[in-house]
Amino acid sequence: MSETRDTRLPFSLEPVLVGLLFGSIGLFGVIYGIGEWAPELASRHGAGIDAMMTYLMVTTGAMFLIGHLAMALFIWQGSRRTRISHRLASPRFEKRLSIALGVLMAVVAEGGVVAIGLPVWNEYFMAEAPPDAVTVEVVGQQFFWNVRYPGADGEFGATDIQLMDDVVNPIGLDRSDPAAVDDIVWLNEIYVPVNRPVRVVLRSKDMIHSFFLPHLRVKQDVIPGMVPELVFVPTREGTFELACAELCGLGHYRMQGFFHVVSDAEFTSQLERLASEQ
């Protein structure tokens, strides 16, 4: 009987240190992750994206912490045993517990993301642009963002690859097309009015770029041959960085634009200024 008893070893420092190591990895990971990571929000749908990210961080952070603390506890407890004198559970119970915990984690983390994320996805990708939306076309190229407004007629003029010239006509606008006469073409600066839906039509001239507005929680790959559209509502005035989030060549780091969210009056006057400089 005495041979099978779970005799205890005297205290030793090593398992305490190993246990503490795992415990602190869990604690440090969670404390470090609690910080504010995203830039201050500036769009309507972005609140949903932030809610989804927060949910995911809290649930997975809790699992991470519980897992590491449990591991620290087991290391400490197990280290004082001289032998494995009894099983904690039957193999059958272990198997069931593993499956149950795996399913629980998937349901909590993935299920929550789908539940919170699907409405945002629908608003962001499936919504039709309302009639009062401001339309702007953005054409990525190494290493610029070409910006085009349709002008007073609300229609983009025709473009032709034969007319492309990196200096005078980067998007190959055909000025003989009546719809093209009032088009405004500009570089790296986008102006939009605050609290009105913006419809961004994206194209690429050469390779994959990614249209990324971190403050507005907007990110969309721009692929030659495809014309993805985004509809979103900026909610805060300011100048926000437009970055290319796809490594697109040696000058990728300087493929930077500015997204100016301004008042209605300011928007009108900026467009008039850009039109006068065409």
Task: For residue 205, give the 3-state DSSP assignment.
Answer: coil
Nearer to Cu ion, 213 or 248 (CB): 248
Report 17-46 residues binding Cu ion (CB under 5 A): none
Q: How far is the CB of 37 from Cu ion (least distance, A)?
A: 23
Interhelix angle 46-79/13-33, nearest 10 degrees: 180
Q: How far is the CB of 140 from Cu ion (least distance, A)?
A: 6
Residue closest to 146 by CA, chosen among 95, 185, 97 = 185
Distances (CA, A) of 25 to 13, 65, 105, 187: 18, 8, 20, 47
Q: Is 255 in the site for Cu ion (CB under 5 A)?
A: yes
Task: For residue 222, give the 3-state DSSP assignment.
Answer: strand
What does the per-residue mask of binding to Cu ion show for 103-142, with x meaning CB under 5 A?
----------------------------------------
Which of 45, 199, 203, 209 is close enough to bind Cu ion by CB under 5 A? 209
Report 214-253 residues binding Cu ion (CB under 5 A): 244, 248
Task: For residue 6, give the 3-state DSSP assignment.
Answer: coil
Q: How far is the CB of 169 from Cu ion (least distance, A)?
A: 20
Residue with tokens 């609300």: 154
Q: How far is the CB of 240 from Cu ion (least distance, A)?
A: 17
Residue closest to 218 by CA, chosen among 236, 195, 238, 234 = 234
Nearer to Cu ion, 55 or 212 (CB): 212
Q: Is 190 in the site for Cu ion (CB under 5 A)?
A: no
Binding residues for Cu ion, rule: CB under 5 A, are: 209, 244, 248, 255
